Structure 1
Amino acid sequence: MHPTPPTPPTPPANAPVVRAAGCVLWRRSPLDGTLELCLVHRPKYDDWSFPKGKLKHAETDLAGALRETLEETGHTAAPGAELPTQHYLANGRPKRVRYWAAEVTGGTFTPTDEVDRILWLPPAAARARLTQPRDRTLVDALLQALRLT
């Protein structure tokens, strides 16, 4: 018999929502023109995800998404369709992350303490590599936004 896992604490009803934003960064492969998505590896969490981060004071969600994408991947991007917003608890606090599809327009990745690696993967491989199951829905949403489904 397996013990029931503990229920995470419920944040107070008035707990401020952590606002964050990010991008599902995509490009056409320089080798064969197929679609590739950019995943970032965060050594602090040892996970693979899409570039995202907390917003600065008075920063718009889209501006924050593009800033975080540039900071984490070294790439500039042209924003496209807004993708589904994610809501979840992070460290016991409610978090809201808005995402946009974004086509890479330039740049070069340089490893940092926050993001030490990036991968450009086809959609199926990206879906399989993502650590959080909730992020996999963003792959499908991007394909829909690009009308590739």
Structure 2
Amino acid sequence: MFPLTPKSSQFFHPLLLSLLLLLSAAAAAPTTSSLPNLLKSQGLPGGIFPDNVKSYDLDRNGRLEVHLQGPCMAKFDTRVFFDTVVRANLSYGGLVGLEGLTQEELFLWLPVKGIQVNDPSSGLILFDIGLAHKQLSLSLFEVPPVCKPQGLLQNFGRKMGFEVAR
């Protein structure tokens, strides 16, 4: 052991303070390492967001911002379109105030305003598409869906309402 001298105690005190600050910051950091883990820790299935997530940010108020590699199309029970950035307020069991996610319903593209799991034992997840609520099986969201660009950027705007059947 080193004897504490007036000079060494001046060095020791700031070092100890720095170590305590570092430990408290590590304890306050979220323990989830991936977006699916974060969603699961909040009572949601891990496969709500697609496989091309670059990064995500969650602020202390619960505002979640998910950054994708680019806009893309995926499929749950119907087709869904993800913008490059999807935002929502994350709380236990739900994503509220969703922005950047639209779902095809009867040839119309409707914005998904919220996603909620009220009772996990029911096996259902609820999608709020504004005009209605749609219940889907939780099993559809176990794994992140494959999301493909498929040249949709050039056609998506023109075909927002209707799609030509071939």
With the length of structure 1 as denominator, give the TM-score of the two structures. 0.25
With the length of structure 2 as denominator, give the TM-score of the two structures. 0.23
* The structure with more strand, counted as a fraction of residues: 1
